[in-house]
């Protein structure tokens, strides 16, 4: 009788222990999956951030190339431009800048209105003074 009771107790505690072990294993598994998800999210956000930075750099570079193509100084703000008549010299041009003041000026008048650049990096083959 005692033997039977003992076996019943053993049987009842046995699966509980296994269940507890399984439960902690489950928690460990969940924690591991959460950890993996966090790492994946971190990597994904790092990639997204890198993409944004690269895109910004490309935009800045494109603006720089466009500025160079138009022959404008480095300090030039990116102004909208199009065909039109210059308000200062009254000439018709393929490209006039639409200034924020509403004025439309050709490239020549625009460059004349700018303060002189502190340095001329575009000057080719500058001689070293001896
Ligand atoms: Zn002009």
Q: How confident is the model at residue 53 (pLDDT cuts 50, 70, 90)?
A: very high
Which residues have C-beta under 5 Å from ligand 1, the single-atom ion? 86, 88-89, 106, 109
Q: Which two tokens stand for residue 28?
A: 């460990």
CA–centroid distance, 6 to ligand 1, in Å, is 106
User: Can you tell me the mean pLDDT for 32-39?
Assistant: 96
Task: Provide the 3-class DSSP secondary structure of residue 76.
Answer: coil
- Tell how far the Cα of 119 is from the centroid of ligand 1, in angstroms: 24
Closest CA to 110 of 89, 125, 83: 89
Q: How far apart are CA 2 and CA 19, in angstroms?
A: 26
Which of the 8 DSSP states describes residue 119?
-
Give the number of other CB atoms < 10 A from CB of residue 65: 10
Between the CA of 97 and the centroid of ligand 1 the distance, in Å, is 10
Q: In terms of pTM, does the model score above 0.85?
A: no
Q: How far is the CA of 79 from the centre of ligand 1 (A)?
A: 16
- 83-116 pLDDT, tens digit per residue, is 999 999 999 999 898 888 889 999 888 888 776 6
């Amino acid at each position: 009788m005692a033997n039977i009771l003992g076996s019943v107790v053993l049987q009842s505690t046995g699966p509980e222990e296994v269940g507890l072990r399984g439960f902690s294993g489950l928690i460990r598994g969940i924690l591991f999956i959460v950890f993996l998800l966090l790492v994946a999210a971190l990597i994904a956000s790092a990639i997204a951030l890198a993409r944004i930075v690269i895109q910004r750099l490309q935009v800045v570079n494109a603006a720089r190339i466009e500025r160079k193509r138009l022959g404008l100084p480095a300090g030039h703000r990116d102004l909208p431009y199009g065909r039109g008549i210059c308000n200062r010299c009254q000439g018709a041009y393929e490209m006039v800048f639409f200034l924020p003041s509403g004025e439309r000026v050709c490239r020549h008048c625009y460059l004349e209105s700018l303060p002189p650049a502190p340095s001329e990096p575009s000057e080719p083959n500058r001689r070293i003074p001896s």
